[in-house]
Amino acid sequence: MNDLTGMHWTEDTPGYDEERRGYQRLDPHRPTHIVGATTRDDVQRAVRYAREHRLPLAVKATGHGHVWPLDGGVLITTSRLDRVTIDPERKTAWIEAGATWQQVIDAAAPHGLAPLSGSLPGVTAVPYILGGGLSLMARRYGFAADHVRRIEVVTPDGELRNAEDDPDLFWALRGGGGNFGVVTAMEIDLFPVPTLYGGSLYYDLAATPDALQAWHDWAQTVPDAVTSAVGLIPFPDIEPVPARLRGKYIAQLQVSITPDADGPALVTALRDSLGEPLIDTVKQRPFTETGEIFDEPAHPAAYRSRNLLLSELDKQALTTIPNLAGPTAKAMCIVGIRHLGGALSNKPAIDNAVGNRDAQYLLSVLTTGGNDTSDLHRAILEPWTQYAVGRSLNFSFGPLTQAELRETYDDYNRLARLRTHYDPTNLLQPNHPITGRQ
Ligand SMILES: Cc1cc2nc3c(=O)[nH]c(=O)nc-3n(C[C@H](O)[C@H](O)[C@H](O)COP(=O)(O)OP(=O)(O)OC[C@H]3O[C@@H](n4cnc5c(N)ncnc54)[C@H](O)[C@@H]3O)c2cc1C
């Protein structure tokens, strides 16, 4: 019988609460055992232990994407399994399961290289990639999952495998989420992008009601070097919100442009169409500071969100968003729209499970606090259902039905078959479990 190795907590061990919790504060895990893995052997032993004792098993990195609480069982935490090794010649990084994007960015930057990291560098790279991965350079280079070379994974049978030697497993892990094993490390591509031209333009929607439409008009004209988004945020009238934003309903236009395009000229065109913003943080910045482009909060919070992937943005439907989601909504509600298309629509060199490549926009609705706001989410998304081509896995912060999960993939049935093949007893409890049932 296997024993657990690595750091170990049970309910009465000091530090248990801190270890089981993550960025998402809703419904934290309540495991019987927590294994703080520092090596892949710790992961393998924990998987074997759970298997042999017939205990459910979950994995937590930083917990941004946490959905289902584990009740009993074994929780593997990966934050200490965080080494990053750069190969500047091959332009790759070998990243362990718990490395955050900021750790990867900081290791790659001295070589003039950058990864396909997202808006918040505190997110863990491996789970982000397992869910597809929409980066700050998404329209230029495609999904992060399209640029994975190797994956080391402990499958639910307790075996350590190189997924690239098993075409089905390699396909499923790149976009299919955490359903097929516990990944211990990955090799990913890096890109010669030492700087980005990026930041945010903040407009008061009361004074500039056409900010959303102007961004949309502009986004339709830009090259693939431009990846942009907009956040509609009702800022509270309190510190530490910057004085110029306090108490205002803000459109935050978030822009990131790779060095192969004329960033200043492109952003000037956007600024000219709207006038001076309240705050303008757009500038040439080293890749190490790209977390400031979206400038999202790094502190833990309770939140739920739903999203739709869209074929287009309808002018009329755009006008409904501020009315439904603005400061009078029943909960603090942030609507985000990300511009997709570009290289995201290209098939990768080796096919993977990422779906909905034809989507042109991602519309997500996020509410904070612990109350059930699913009716608000549905009301805001309802006018858009006629344009929906699917859903995004990574931006679903809350339980999905199997019918909704099916909409995140192009080939759900293949994923369901592979889930049964690799995990016939449903040992793994991922954030979005594929069950194969309706
Ligand atoms: C503020 C914010 C900004 C974000 N920005 C972006 C963005 O720009 N682009 C984007 O694509 N996504 C983005 N995300 C979503 C993010 O990629 C997902 O939440 C993702 O799940 C990563 O979360 P995490 O690193 O905290 O992992 P966790 O929440 O700890 O893990 C999420 C799930 O992944 C699985 N998992 C974790 N580690 C492993 C492992 N080693 N092996 C197998 N399965 C594992 C588990 O099922 C786990 O439940 C953002 C999220 C937030 C909260």
What CATH code is carried by the domain that includes residue 12? Answer: 3.30.43.10
- Compute the distance between CA of residue 16 and CA of residue 65 in angstroms, rounded to an integer: 20
**60 Cβ inside 6 Å of ligand 1:** yes
**57 Cβ inside 6 Å of ligand 1:** no
**Which residue's alpha carbon is at the smallest distance from atom 44 of ligand 1?**
178
Are residues 56 and 102 both part of a single domain? no
**Which residue's alpha carbon is at the smallest distance from atom 52 of ligand 1?**
64
**78 Cβ inside 6 Å of ligand 1:** yes
Domain-embedded: residue 340: yes
Residue 292 has, within 13 A of its CA and on its CB side, a CA count of 15
Are residues 384 and 345 both part of a single domain? yes
Domain-embedded: residue 410: no
Angle at 385 between CA 228 and CA 129, to 5 degrees: 45
Q: Please state which of the ranges 50-59, 249-258, 303-312, 371-380 shows the lowest mean pLDDT.
A: 371-380
Q: Of the residues 28, 52, 77, which one is the last residue of a structural domain?
A: 77
Are residues 107 and 245 both part of a single domain? no
% of the chain at pLDDT higher than 70: 99
Give Cα 39 to chain centroid, integer Å: 25
pLDDT in tens, 130-139: 999 999 999 9
**61 Cβ inside 6 Å of ligand 1:** yes
Are residues 334 and 357 both part of a single domain? yes
Number of domains, the chain: 3
Band (pLDDT 50/70/90 cuts) for residue 199 is very high
Are residues 205 and 188 both part of a single domain? no
Q: Helix crossing, 315-325 with 374-381: angle to 10°?
A: 160
Distance 273 CA to ligand 1 centre (A): 36
Domain-embedded: residue 293: yes
Are residues 211 and 281 both part of a single domain? yes
The residue range of the domain holding 228 is: 195-404
Residue 210 has, within 13 A of its CA and on its CB side, a CA count of 8
Distance 125 CA to ligand 1 centre (A): 8
Q: Which atom of ligand 1 is nearest to the CA of 392?
A: 11
Of the residues 431, 432, 434, which should be mutated to test ligand 1's pocket, given the most ligand atoms within 8 Å of the CB?
Answer: 431
**Which residue's alpha carbon is at the smallest distance from atom 8 of ligand 1?**
118
Domain-embedded: residue 434: no
Are residues 248 and 222 both part of a single domain? yes
Q: Which secondary structure element, helix H or strand E, spans residue 301, and what is its range?
A: none
Band (pLDDT 50/70/90 cuts) for residue 204 is very high
Q: Of the residues 192, 226, 246, which one is the last residue of a structural domain?
A: 192
Are residues 340 and 235 both part of a single domain? yes
- Compute the distance between CA of residue 215 and CA of residue 293 in angstroms, rounded to an integer: 16
Are residues 257 and 114 both part of a single domain? no
Distance 63 CA to ligand 1 centre (A): 7
**133 Cβ inside 6 Å of ligand 1:** yes
Are residues 251 and 341 both part of a single domain? yes
| Higher-pLDDT residue of 288, 370 | 288
Distance 411 CA to ligand 1 centre (A): 21
pLDDT in tens, 309-365: 999 999 888 999 998 999 989 899 999 999 999 999 999 999 999 999 999 999 999
Does residue 44 have a pLDDT over 70?
Answer: yes
Domain-embedded: residue 114: yes
Q: φ and ψ at 296, to 5 degrees?
A: -80, 155
pTM of the model: 0.98
**120 Cβ inside 6 Å of ligand 1:** yes
Are residues 116 and 264 both part of a single domain? no
Are residues 312 and 204 both part of a single domain? yes
Distance 300 CA to ligand 1 centre (A): 14
Q: φ and ψ at 414, to 5 degrees?
A: -65, -40
